[in-house]
Structure 1
Amino acid sequence: MTFRLIKLVCLSVIAAIVTAPAFGQTDPSFLLTGTAKNFDSYFPSYLANGYFSTMTSPRGTEPNMGYMVAFMDYAKGDISRPAAIPGWSEIDYNPGGGWLNSIRLDPKIFVDYAQTLDMHGGTLTTRYRFAYANKATDVKVTTFVSQANPHLAASQLSITPQFDGKVQLTFPLRLWSEHQPRFPIASMTGDEMIDAVIASGQTLQNKPVPTPDRAAVWYPGYTKVLSSDGDTRELTLWLDGKAEQGLSMAEAAAISLPAGIQVDEVKLEKGPDKLSLNLVVSVQKGKTYTFTKYIAASRQDWGGDAKADVTLAEAARKTGFDSLLARHAAAWNELWKSDIVVEGDPKVQSAVHSDLYYLLSNTTVGTAWPMGACALTPGYAGHAFWDSDSWVFPALLLLHPERAKPIVMFRDRTMEPARARAKQYGAGGTMYPWEADPQTGVDNTPHFAYGVFREIHVNADIAIAQWQYYLASGDDAWLKKDGWPVIQAIAEFWTSRVTYNKAADRYEIMHVTSPDEAYDDVPNDSFTNAAARKALEIAGKAAKVVGAEADPKWAEIAAKMYIPFDSANQRHLDFDASVPHDKITWMGSSLAWLMYPNLDLPMSAQVRRNDFAFQLQELKTHGDDPNEMMMVMLAVGEAELGDGKAAGDWIQRNLVGFLKPPFNVRTETVANNAGYILATSAGFVQGFVYGLSGLRIEDKGLVEAYAPVLPPSWKSLTLKRISFRGKRFDVVIGRDASGKATLTRHAE
């Protein structure tokens, strides 16, 4: 390929080791470091354990919003949205000339600054010398959200003042105000939404990094604090809260002081905006003082109340920071035993690790919660899209099946609202919504996006994921109890939704929204029809496994499903030829998604080449600021075509522009700053797990459906500790004596 789709702007992936990691030497590909050069372009990352989170900030001590899994605000007139929990990671310090968190970010004030995200250990460490008002203090901040103890987190501040005297410290729980303005998104049209945003003094236009450009719509929900208090003697804080018309939650903090420090004053501050323990202490020049804030958090149906959280926070304080951090790091180390190892390209390796880090930071085990489209942030209102089933789920399935399972369990848990929605639209079975509330499963698609109620391919995507989990796990009992009911009900939906064209003797699906969403209300979208056909075929197979009777219509409809095809050009069409294919969109075309690993529509090698060539041409001529969900999948398409160099070129293109500094946060497009979209990270990962490897999960096992490929400069690619049907093994793609890529499996 000689053309460029977009003007690429160089993005430097910084992975320098500025300070020695806490637990021995860490592979540099797991370390991302921000410097003072990033002060003006700092795109926040987050620390999370799948259950709750905190955003990051440059100083390491600022008030940051945090979120909790499926903890939603249900304000009247609005869609559901993640309720920001009281900010817990904030610590502030005043040596006498001003508060640390209030002083401008300036390299002359924050001297020798470095902030390192250690993805292998799940920690954020910030170091600098705070030099202001003729006083200097060496500062180190370390924060983590425990991977070993899901209710716990901690932030530790170490100060080394270069003076003698008294200093002030505060340890707040930040109580957020309700976001204003708040729009009635449940009823606003698109034009009304734009007008309301403009009237509020905001825009939905792309903005320079790091300003978020969708915050006007994807703002956080509100948690009302019902009761709060603290104890100056025990150095504890606690609160009980409730999301707007939603669930209850609680938080507690326990503060640990340096041994032997002289405490001159301790005060409890209780106000409408924060609950805080405020201290005045005496310090000596050159001596290091370490303060630790231990946090416990819970929500309704996951943990207890504030009293229980105080007990947890105090127990954490008794255990000690080093022990908690060691357990946390050990849990992360265990996760990284399953990994993707690239030999020959450090930048690609770093990007793979950052994408895996963001996926793993948002996973739970043994639950039935999905993953919000933008992780534990307010992006896309925290709703569950097909992103969970078709993007995140396959990326995790072979590496971490226990962390993929909650995604399929969520669809089983929320069958009833999907049944009710099917009845609402006059359909049978279950009709899962385009945007499902992660707690209730109820449809929460914004009114201004009303057209996507026709983007019904999500119902096939869900069935495919259920079957993929069964094939990978071999769990017959799970299939009968949990997977089969979902698959059966979705087959009933498609049976009711198709139209029989008697003249052509085929089944069609009318009035749908294409995955290339500018094409709304089109007949016979190829991706939708192909996915529906696969879902019906799956239902027949699943029925045999569980000993149920399959509806004969499933096989009949699948066999006669119409998938538009251009015989003259020997390629598929996006949808019926009656619909002009001429719009400027994020994707240009959706033909590449017919090759998507979970669907992988059977076709000849020539048709596959023709489809892909059309996709690239349309992306070039009808694509504008391409969506990263499309871009990351192009490497898979090239790999299926056997072109390792072209696949590598697409991988390289996805390192540039989409990854925002300093922590490789993927954004929806190069130009916009809608960040934290897990589907894009998962798509990049799938390019390695299913693209370069050629592996597919099929009825007969984990098969090599395509010959493996490697980019020319790479020595090897290893998928470490793949899990399939209870067995663990490594998949290694290397080269034979002639340089041809080969795939071997090595049992654990």
Structure 2
Amino acid sequence: MEPSILSYEGFDPAAEGLREALCTVGNGYVATRGAAPESTADGVHYPGTYFAGCYDRLTSTVAGREVENEDLVNAPSWLPLRFRTPGQDWLSLDRSEVLEHRQDLDTRRGVLTRRTRFRDPVGRVLAVTQRRLVSMHDPHAAALETTFVAENWSGPLDVRASLDGRVTTSGVARYRDLDGRHLVPVAQGYDPADGVAWLQVRTATSQVRIAQAAVLVLTGTRTGTEGPVPGTAEQTAGESAVLTRLDLVRGVPVTVEKRVALYTSQDRAISESLVAAREHAARLPSFGRLLADHAAAWERLWRASAVVVPGQPQQALDLYVFHLLQTLSEHTAQLDVGMPARGLHGEAYRGHVFWDELFVFPFLLLGFPRVARSLLMYRWRRLPRARRAAADAGYRGAMYPWQSGSDGRDETQRVHLNPVSGRWVDDHSHLQRHVGIAVAHDVWQYYQATGDVAFLHGYGAEMLVEIARFWCSLATYDKADDRYDLRGVMGPDEYHDAYPGAGRPGIDNNAYTNVMVTRVLRYALDALALLPDDERAALRRRLALGDDETDLFERVARRMRVVFHGDGVISQFEGYDRLAELDWPAYRARYGSIRRLDRVLEAEGDSVNRYRASKQADVLMLVFLLGERGLLDALAALGYPFDAAALDRTVRYYLARTSHGSTLSAVVHAWVLASRDPEASWQFFREVLDSDIADVQGGTTAEGVHLGAMAGAVDLVQRCYPGLDLTGDVLRLAPRLPAEIGELRFRLRYRDHWGIDVRCAHDRVRIGLAASRQPPITVAVDGVERTLAPGETWEPARQPLRAGRRA
């Protein structure tokens, strides 16, 4: 891998799923996996295409139960383009002789290039070069350019291009017992007058109509002319194909462009999806023009988001920024969609929205605040559903679900398949109520970074109040201790969903949940205080929010319980210290990787609930979100004596008891260790960089990338190592770069300043504001503040920090 180029040499069936996921091209509206255009879903290839927010719901019978699931739908494939030499079968990577094969993903321009040389059974060598894009300029356009060269022969070449709506949603092996037949054919056809082939399907339950229209254009002929390819239509239910024959001359390249328009009935400013697709396809410009506009759009994105870290990390960072922007672009801001945890790259987690946006928001706030706002609006529009969920469970306020899809109902499964044991087991992960905490934290961080008072007034304050209401209604008061408890929840750890032998699911007083709830209550109170008097009064009337409730917010924020054990270590939850210790060396020796320790133990007839073992960072998430000083202050406000030494002991305790079964875990550990053990922090950072490129989870990346970890890698070099903090109306920097990073550079947006350039090194910092008419801002480096006006640059000298404390 070179900077900005991800390359794969040769065809490796075992690695094809990973390559297809990492070679996905998209624009935030639609994305297509990097499968070969001649391939089909066959256990090796999976040419999936996904529209943001296009879900469908089906019922399946699983383990004797009727189970309803909503899936991000695998839409019709616009890719198919097959070819064959005279008298032979269609050529393919799997079933033909491949002399050479190479894929290159250009992340700077968003172009996937494929070069393959085939030899047919009679010795004819055909070279195929293809370039593919999903336009970042025009969200409804995609294109495939294919150049054929007959190297040692002349003669006809059959080419079949199609739009295939017969696909199913079956890209994840453990879901294949579930019904994935989401597409119902509606119409297909071909108009020889303009050369446009079209296809329309609808989703089975949600009734979304998906339309695609394609035109084939022949270029690069010996005459130098171009025009629609003459062809014969082959129409069947769910597929629209055009079969044509090219006349190849030895050594002379012939190029065919497949230009495609893609729409759904969820789109704005259209009358009907098929009409829109057909009209658009007929007017699509050449591949060269599409590419020029597409590359220019990507150049604008890179100017706003590039992070420069000299050396090897640059490669992974470029790839991860690229995939973040392919899922969450400016086009996404026009849609009513959330952030699927696995991007638009595969079907893992069924394309649902979890809490992972908590890890992605910092990246968006520094470069694309409008996109961050759109994700908050997705949550806002589903506030009524969250209120209903809380009421149905007997609570007040709004209870956001652990997994969300189209309408905000709880999509969390109640059973899941353990692929190690092959058994379906009960799933209590719907008890991860802390997703509401993530929503509230994102609302407040958005306001801190943008100063968008209008959003806070119109939407954010109400969301914060309703989330705070929920947590106060869930809390129970212990009069003897004058403390509030939160019982029957699950924390971010995700392993512990019940006490050993307990008759009910859930655990009590999860430290992360309890401490973060106190922050949510403060966010709600502060947001109310920021409203003008008349607006605050109007909101209180509309929500029937009395002084008694806001007084309760204040009391719970001051008297929430946090449990400690042995030497002042924060307990992950009440009773954690009474669980058995796991023999970590024995399990590692027996199984090698124990990232998914829960599955290993269940297969043995045991339960992870019995052990002091965490899937991922839980208590340490508090340091990640609040910072060390913020956590110490939060505990002090609750009346708990806790200092830096106790925090060090807490860090050590959980470092030894975490299996890192989630890619997010390494992000948090790298952050927490940055100030105490830079070498260990760097090792975790390297693991984050490898998370998807090296598929550290052992096969999961093929099912969709891990957007939270990708964003976390970027966040470590944009916020953690530079010590960047945007809270409190001051842009603060306190760099703590690892020895392996000599200097890093990035650009950020803060409040209304859209071009702040930052350079950080061990002995200097440089901050420059682009010229504009915006007011000055206050910046601080290592605690020294200065007012900086647009067009000014500040470069204070600084002393390199001492080596971090060892935890």
Query: Is 1:34–2:8 an aligned residue pair?
Result: yes
CA distance in 1: counterparts of 2:466 and 2:435, whole angstroms: 13
Question: 533, 554, 568: which is aligned to 2:518?
Answer: 533
1:690 positional shift: 2.4
Larger Rg: 2
CA distance in 1: counterparts of 2:89 and 2:232, whole angstroms: 17
* Residues 721, 728 of structure 1: 8 Å contact kept: yes
Letter in 2 for 1:141: Q
- Matching residue of 2:728: 699
1:685 positional shift: 2.0
CA distance in 1: counterparts of 2:747 and 2:373, whole angstroms: 20
1:480 positional shift: 0.7
* Residues 99, 116 of structure 2: 8 Å contact kept: yes
1:413 positional shift: 0.9
Q: How does 1:308-707 map to 2 (within 5 A)?
A: 308-316=276-284, 319-346=285-312, 348-363=313-328, 364-376=332-344, 377-388=346-357, 390-437=358-405, 439-448=406-415, 450-520=427-497, 521-547=506-532, 548=536, 551-566=550-565, 568-577=566-575, 580-582=578-580, 583=611, 585=613, 587=615, 590-597=618-625, 601-603=630-632, 604-619=643-658, 623=659, 626-641=661-676, 643-656=677-690, 658-660=691-693, 668=697, 674-704=703-733, 707=734
CA distance in 2: counterparts of 1:263 and 1:333, whole angstroms: 31
- Matching residue of 2:237: 272
Letter in 2 for 1:355: Y
Letter in 2 for 1:111: L
Query: Is 1:125–2:108 an aligned residue pair?
Result: no
Query: Is 1:252–2:226 an aligned residue pair?
Result: no
- Please, which moves more after superposition, 682-691 or 355-364? 682-691
Q: In the superposition, relative to structure 1, how do residues 690 and 718 fare at CA in structure 2: closer, same or farther (>3 Å)?
A: same
Q: In the superposition, relative to structure 1, how do residues 153 and 598 fare at CA in structure 2: closer, same or farther (>3 Å)?
A: farther
* Residues 613, 657 of structure 2: 8 Å contact kept: no
* Residues 485, 561 of structure 2: 8 Å contact kept: yes
Letter in 2 for 1:734: A
Q: In the superposition, relative to structure 1, how do residues 283 and 514 fare at CA in structure 2: closer, same or farther (>3 Å)?
A: same
CA distance in 2: counterparts of 1:223 and 1:598, whole angstroms: 45
Letter in 1 for 2:624: Y
* Residues 185, 237 of structure 2: 8 Å contact kept: no
Deviation string, structure 1 residues 119-144 (Cα, Å, up to 9, x no partner): 11111001122222311122110111
CA distance in 1: counterparts of 2:12 and 2:750, whole angstroms: 39
- Matching residue of 2:780: none
Q: Secondary structure at the match of 1:558?
A: helix
Q: Secondary structure at the match of 2:465?
A: helix
1:292 positional shift: 0.8
- Please, which moves more after superposition, 266-275 or 495-504? 266-275
Q: Secondary structure at the match of 1:426?
A: coil
CA distance in 1: counterparts of 2:377 and 2:201, whole angstroms: 28
CA distance in 1: counterparts of 2:430 and 2:366, whole angstroms: 31
CA distance in 1: counterparts of 2:568 and 2:174, whole angstroms: 41
Deviation string, structure 1 residues 718-739 (Cα, Å, up to 9, x no partner): 1223444434312222022xxx
CA distance in 1: counterparts of 2:681 and 2:571, whole angstroms: 24
Query: Is 1:284–2:249 an aligned residue pair?
Result: yes
Q: Secondary structure at the match of 2:472?
A: helix
Q: In the superposition, relative to structure 1, how do residues 105 and 406 fare at CA in structure 2: closer, same or farther (>3 Å)?
A: farther
Q: In the superposition, relative to structure 1, how do residues 326 and 478 fare at CA in structure 2: closer, same or farther (>3 Å)?
A: same
- Matching residue of 1:66: 49
* Residues 217, 226 of structure 2: 8 Å contact kept: no
Query: Is 1:146–2:135 an aligned residue pair?
Result: yes
CA distance in 2: counterparts of 1:730 and 1:152, whole angstroms: 33
1:422 positional shift: 0.6
CA distance in 2: counterparts of 1:250 and 1:269, whole angstroms: 18
1:338 positional shift: 2.5
* Residues 74, 168 of structure 2: 8 Å contact kept: no
| TM-score computed with the length of structure 1 as normaliser | 0.84
1:460 positional shift: 1.2
CA distance in 2: counterparts of 1:725 and 1:611, whole angstroms: 39
Q: In the superposition, relative to structure 1, how do residues 402 and 220 fare at CA in structure 2: closer, same or farther (>3 Å)?
A: farther
- Matching residue of 2:43: none
* Residues 238, 307 of structure 1: 8 Å contact kept: no
Q: Secondary structure at the match of 1:330?
A: helix
Q: In the superposition, relative to structure 1, how do residues 254 and 441 fare at CA in structure 2: closer, same or farther (>3 Å)?
A: same
* Residues 347, 704 of structure 2: 8 Å contact kept: no
Q: Secondary structure at the match of 1:569?
A: coil
Structure 1 stretches of 4+ with a deviation exceeding 6 A read 261-265
Letter in 2 for 1:606: A
Letter in 1 for 2:509: N
Q: How does 1:191-206 map to 2 (within 5 A)?
A: none
Q: In the superposition, relative to structure 1, how do residues 225 and 585 fare at CA in structure 2: closer, same or farther (>3 Å)?
A: farther
Letter in 2 for 1:66: T
1:525 positional shift: 0.1
* Residues 95, 168 of structure 1: 8 Å contact kept: yes
CA distance in 2: counterparts of 1:51 and 1:726, whole angstroms: 27
1:272 positional shift: 3.4
Query: Is 1:79–2:69 an aligned residue pair?
Result: yes
The runs of 5 or more residues in structure 2 that have no matched partner are: 41-46, 60-66, 416-425, 498-505, 541-546, 581-610, 633-642, 771-807
* Residues 38, 92 of structure 2: 8 Å contact kept: no
Q: In the superposition, relative to structure 1, how do residues 651 and 264 fare at CA in structure 2: closer, same or farther (>3 Å)?
A: closer
Letter in 2 for 1:545: L
* Residues 373, 387 of structure 1: 8 Å contact kept: yes
* Residues 187, 238 of structure 2: 8 Å contact kept: no
Highest RCO, 1 vs 2 (Cα 8 Å, sep ≥ 6): 1
* Residues 74, 167 of structure 2: 8 Å contact kept: no
Letter in 1 for 2:356: D
CA distance in 2: counterparts of 1:96 and 1:581, whole angstroms: 70
- Matching residue of 1:239: 199
CA distance in 2: counterparts of 1:640 and 1:505, whole angstroms: 35
Deviation string, structure 1 residues 697-733 (Cα, Å, up to 9, x no partner): 32333334xx422221322111223444434312222
Q: Secondary structure at the match of 1:468?
A: helix
Identity score, percent: 24
- Matching residue of 2:739: 712
* Residues 235, 241 of structure 2: 8 Å contact kept: yes
1:598 positional shift: 5.7
Deviation string, structure 1 residues 397-453 (Cα, Å, up to 9, x no partner): 21221222221111111111111101110111111111111x211211112164122
Q: Secondary structure at the match of 2:157?
A: strand
CA distance in 1: counterparts of 2:178 and 2:731, whole angstroms: 39
Q: Secondary structure at the match of 2:374?
A: helix
- Matching residue of 1:225: 185
* Residues 263, 280 of structure 1: 8 Å contact kept: no
Letter in 1 for 2:411: N
1:101 positional shift: 4.6
Letter in 2 for 1:659: D
* Residues 431, 459 of structure 1: 8 Å contact kept: yes
Q: In the superposition, relative to structure 1, how do residues 672 and 715 fare at CA in structure 2: closer, same or farther (>3 Å)?
A: closer
Q: How does 1:88-167 map to 2 (within 5 A)?
A: 88-96=78-86, 98-102=88-92, 104=94, 109-133=97-121, 134-162=123-151, 163-167=153-157
* Residues 150, 252 of structure 2: 8 Å contact kept: yes
- Matching residue of 1:24: none
